[in-house]
Structure 1
Amino acid sequence: MAMSETGTKRSLFPYAVVATGIMGCFGPCALALSCAGIFFTPVSTALGVGRGVFAIYLTVMLVACAIALPFEGKLMEKKDLRVLLSAAVLCIGVPLICMSFFNEVWQFYIAGAFMGIGLAFLLVLAVPTLINRWFRKNVGFYIGLCMAFTGIGGVVFNLVGGMFIASGPDGWRMGYLAFGVLALVLALPFTLFGIRSYPGDKGLTPVGSEAAVANGEAAVAALTGPTASRAMKTLSFFALAIFAGFINLAINFYQYLPSYASSLTQYPDIVAIAATLASAAMLGQAIGKVLLGIINDKLSVYAGLGLSTGCGAVGLLVMWLVPSSVPAMLAGGFLFGVFYASATVLAPLITRTIFGTREYSTIYSRVAMVGSLCGAFAASVWGFIVDGTGFSFVFAIGIGGAVIVFLLGLLALRSGKGLADE
């Protein structure tokens, strides 16, 4: 009977962990980040400030996220993830509720800082850390599946938030209130009851490790790889950190796709698809996350690296050179979305491939910190480039950035061979 109960636990509880990752991305992460833009105009109008001044809270959020990552990576190695991730949900849900009552822009900046601390746990660290601990097979698929729900949540909740905002002058307040409650209700039951820090806490082993041991591959079942202190002294670590930074710089051109479409005044039909182009990229992002995870599992991380950067370069090239064709533009946006997916899927998978699982969350938190810092200022950087040079030069820079990302990823993988087996 005991063996039967254990078997049931072995078959079901790891998938509760996956469900927790999905709900964390679908709920708090999407509500805080993927839906932020719909509030810019109504809130800045109500507060009597410019949209840029109000949007600074997003920069504060991402900088706070980057600063928090190294500390949170260490905490995740030592503390109960139920406590840490539930606190992270509160750090997002409670500020969203409070934002419905704010009347000064500086209050949003403070709320953004708390939300950044929560996002560091939930968006950056939780999914790859949990999946790497609980699974030894199909790791890429499950990471990609969970991360895809940030985009799916964005699609769903942007519509919900839009309805609240359209309901009246203070509709944005009800929108924030609803978002905060949703963040708590959707995620807290899972972070409290759907996870444990390690499979051993439930008397289990990672999914897939049983087969590895049976085949004499005991190393696969154990935590392997260098310590964080050793990893951070290697060339592969520095190459990987710069890789993460360049990805976050390159993919943030996504924010300017509607502006690019709107700038094509010689093609009236193209102007009409400005929002559709961004949606095509979001669809590519969601599908790309799952696809890159599957490719990592079935082929190799090298194949995923080549596909994502290739899609980025080709997508940008198509949008640049074939602006008169609506299908070509949408296809280009979709391909660029696949490249966008590499930031949250490929970066953690390459980290695992190079450095193993021994101190994964500590190592990846440092890599992700570089990416988050670059992402915090990327939109402004692209804005200055667009204003100063126009879109043609921007596309050339973006294509070059995709090539650089590929070369940096290749350097990190080649120079880190053998480290994961230590």
Structure 2
Amino acid sequence: MAATISKTGKSGPKHSKYAFLIVLSGIIFTGVPGAMIYSCAGIFFTPVSEYFHTSKAAVAGYFSALNITMMIALPIAGKLMSRFDLRKVLTCCALLTGLGCLSISFMSAVWQFYIAGVVMGIGLPALLYLAVPAMINAWFKVKVGFLTGLCMAFTGIGGVIFNQLGTILIRTGQDGWRKGYLVFGIIILVVTLPFTIFIVRSDPAEKGLAPYGADQMVEIGEPEPEVRGVTASKAMRTPAFLALAGFCGIITMNQTVYQFLPSYAYSFKATAPQIATLTGLIASCCMAGQAIGKVFLGAANDKSIIGGMGMGIGCGLLGVVLMAVFPTAAPVLLLGSFAFGFAYAFPSVQTPLLVRAVFGSKDYTNIYSRVQMVGVLASAFAALFWGTIVDMHNGYTIMFILSAVCMVLTFILGAWSLGQRTKLQSLME
């Protein structure tokens, strides 16, 4: 390693500062392109459908095209990130995402949105799903869970900020949605590209540095751990991989329950009109829970992965119980939504940390990208599944019961996959 670490465990200022520029890069990737494209899509569906005199489903279809493309692109992005300079890969991804978003402002027909969805679906998965865990794992030996959660929290924080900005732009006129996509695309390019070009590095050694926290290991007499792990080709043939893929798919399905919380509150308009007015507030409480939850879940995982899983699933179960049993008690309903936000945060924090814990770091990006494929596939049809459920008699009750089942299942799958680590030692290189 090019950097020299003293026996006192102290390193130069450049060592400590640059690693946190990597953290800032992760925050930018999730909080700008990630939040703008993924967390703000819904604000455009109604104005665009009204402008083109078509259904919201036709407009929202481009978002499904984006998700399907992301599913296909994830393993390809994972391979590219493990083989080529991370700066070049993420710069290309930022260009595709920003230009795809910007191009929508000039489109004259809804079918053209689908082309933009495919373009953004190629660029977005590396920025939204893969960059943060890959960079944090490479640059940090301590607080990996906390920093991963902190970066991922900005999908929610960015969503709160940019949903407001986008709404203001949309309200400027009948075609205000064009201005919204234009400004979003420009912001993505102007804010993200400086980080992908000038800051991002695949490995601290490229800057002549040691990973942050390696000096602490020297201070307490521990050698820096060897980078070991199972290759993607071997991992995909193990039961643990199937368990983690199921874990990711099921918990992502459960995450989509959030989309139906406002309509759940509105369903009480006849019996409890005061609850029906809380549609926006119940969504905001859940978003606050997921932003805070990502940070707390990350910190909990640094101490115990099982403990982190227990926190996320426990809060999620508490949330659905409170919302299902006390729907007309506004404070309890909102508390339940906030608690469910921890379950909403669960997939983006827990999945990458579980993959690393089970299969090691050697081929981490390739393995994680394949596991995440299942989650993206699940998100592509989850809304349709839950929409069908809530349209049934007592549909919301069934939704909450199934949500609880999903969370219990994911805890079992995650705990079982962790238990396979000893058996996987023989496959590690």
Fold match, TM over 0.5?
yes
| 2:150 paired with 1:130 | no
**1:388 maps to amino acid:** M
Give the alignment of 1:389-408 within 5 angstroms: 389=393, 390-408=395-413
Instruction: Provide closer, same or farther for how the CA distance between residues 365 and 219 of structure 1 changes in structure 2, counting only shifts above 3 A.
Output: same
SS in 1 for 2:202: coil
For residue 379 of structure 2, the aligned residue among 375, 382, 401 is 375
User: SS state of the match for residue 388, structure 1?
Assistant: coil
Question: 1:316 — aligned with what?
Answer: 320
> What residue in structure 1 maps to residue 64 of structure 2?
59
Tell me, in whole angstroms, the C-alpha distance in 1 between the residues paired with 2:95 and 2:28: 14
Aligned residue runs from structure 1 range 171-250, under 5 A: 171-213=176-218, 215-218=220-223, 220=225, 222-250=226-254
**Distance of 1:408 and 1:190 partners within structure 2:** 37
Letter in 1 for 2:97: I
Identify which of 64, 76, 85 aligns with 1:80.
85
Higher mean displacement: 29-38 or 228-237: 228-237
Aligned positions, number? 419
| Distance in 1 of aligned mates of 2:273 and 2:143 | 46
| Distance verdict in 2 for CA 1:199–1:280, change over 3 Å | same
Which residue identity is paired with 1:316? V
The 5-angstrom pairing of residues 34-113 of structure 1 reads 34-113=39-118
The match for 2:338 among 319, 326, 334 is 334
Equivalent residue letter for 1:118: G
Structure 2 residue identity aligned to 1:285: Q
1:344 to 316, 338, 348: 348
1:307 aligns with 2:311: yes
Post-superposition offset of 1:416: 2.5
Quote the offset at 1:420 in angstroms. Answer: 6.4
Decide whether the 8 Å contact of 2:148 with 2:298 is kept in 1: yes
Question: One-letter code of the match for 1:409?
Answer: G
1:355-396 C-alpha deviation (Å, 9 max, x unpaired): 111111011011101111111111111111111342111111
- The partner residue of 1:253 within 231, 243, 257 is 257
The whole-number CA distance in structure 2 between the counterparts of 1:388 and 1:219 is 56
For 1:416, the equivalent position in structure 2 comes to 421
3-state DSSP of counterpart to 2:392: helix
* Conserved 8 A contact 1:356-1:419: no
State how far apart, in whole Å, the 1-side matches of 2:392 and 2:425 are: 45
Q: Secondary structure at the match of 2:108?
A: coil
TM-score (norm 1): 0.96
Contact 1:356 1:420 (C-alpha < 8 Å) held by counterparts: no
Describe the superposition over 1:281-306 as per-residue Cα deviations: whole angstroms up to 9, x where unpaired.
Answer: 00000000000000111x20100101
Q: Deviations for 1:97-128, whole angstroms, at most 9, x for unmatched residues?
A: 11111121111111111111122100010000
> For 1:342, what is the secondary structure of its paired residue?
helix
SS of the residue corresponding to residue 283 of structure 1 reads helix
Where do 5+ consecutive residues of structure 2 fail to align? 6-10
CA displacement at 1:8 relative to structure 2:
3.0
| Contact 1:354/1:420 (<8 A) preserved | no
Query: Does residue 287 of structure 1 match 2:292?
Result: yes
Asked if the contact 1:38/1:161 (under 8 Å) is kept, the reply is yes
> Secondary structure at 2:354's aligned position in 1?
helix
CA deviation map 1:52-88 (0-9, x unaligned): 1110111111111111111111111110111111111
Secondary structure in 2 matching 1:225: coil
Does the 8 Å contact 2:297/2:346 carry over to 1? yes
Q: Distance in 1 between matches of 2:413 and 2:289?
A: 23
Change (3 A) 1:11 1:420: farther
- In structure 1, runs of 5+ residues without a counterpart are none
3-state SS in 1 of match to 2:229: coil
8 Å Cα contact 2:214/2:224 also seen in 1: no
Question: Deviation of residue 213 (structure 1)?
Answer: 4.6
SS at match of 1:345: helix
The 10-residue stretch of structure 1 (411-420 or 310-319) with the greater mean CA deviation from structure 2: 411-420
User: What is the CA–CA distance in structure 2 between the aligned matches of 1:215 and 1:135, rounded to whole Å?
Assistant: 17
**Distance (Å, rounded) in 2 between the aligned partners of 1:418 and 1:210:** 31
- 1:414 partner letter: G
Residues 420/170 of structure 1: CA separation in 2 closer, same or farther (3 Å cut)? farther
Aligned position for 2:281? 276
Structure 1 residues 222-231 or 344-353, which shifts more?
222-231
Q: Is 1:388 matched with 2:388?
A: no
Distance, in Å, in 2 between the alignment partners of 1:85 and 1:48 is 37
Deviation, 1:10, is 1.1
